[in-house]
Amino acid sequence: MQVPVSVSLVSEVSEERNILNIVDVQMYSSLVKLHGTVAWIMPFISNLKALVGKKSRNVDEYASTDETNSAGVMLIKDIQQRACSKEFEFIQSKGTSGKRSVIVNQLNLFVDEKGVIRCRSRLETAPLLEASKTPILLPYKTYFSELVVSQANERMFHDGVGETLSAVRERYFILGVER
């Protein structure tokens, strides 16, 4: 009798594609644990779909690197859709909505092939990794942004604010003002 509960969970995620309705980000102390949990939830949901559709699916004991990476992308997209919905709509409408978005113009925002909002920078022609040339936009004062900064601080062995900020900016651009 657990199948109807599973079916409602599967339909909620597949229709809205919003993992934040299932996972509470604030319950995790690190970004790695959060990504790992989401990487485990997505195959679980696929298994429920397969169970309902009577398809068989092999399940690995560990989450793969691809699953962990896609979990990170899914989390970022959900957080951006909640916090940066105006910017996302403005980018999708290509500025024809009539409303001006100062942040989109100033940061030269665009949506990449995975649906993540990124910033274009002056470093586009520099010999850097693509993530450094076009950092991911993260909203100001969210717990997820705090986890990103905390992970960068640990990665830099608590070496100081400058090194932590540099490590964060390798991949992310956190809006520095509340909108």
Structural domains counted in the chain: 2
Does one domain contain both 93 and 177?
yes
Name the residue range of residue 75's domain.
1-82
pTM recorded for the entire structure: 0.77
Q: Are residues 103 and 75 in the same domain?
A: no
Instruction: Based on the fold, state whether residues 38 and 74 are members of the same structural domain.
Output: yes
- Domain closes at, from 82, 98, 129: 82
DSSP 3-state of 136: strand
Neighbour count for residue 167 (Cβ, 10 Å)? 19
Per-residue pLDDT tens digits of the chain, which is 179 residues long: 444 444 444 444 443 457 888 889 999 999 999 988 888 888 877 777 777 776 655 656 567 778 788 889 999 999 998 888 888 888 888 766 666 678 888 899 999 999 999 998 888 888 888 888 899 999 988 999 999 999 999 999 999 999 999 999 999 999 875 55
* Closest C-alpha to 64, from 43, 45, 84: 43
Helices (H) and strands (E) in the chain, counts: 8, 4
Q: What is the DSSP letter of 53?
A: T
Residues 75 and 2 occupy one common structural domain = yes
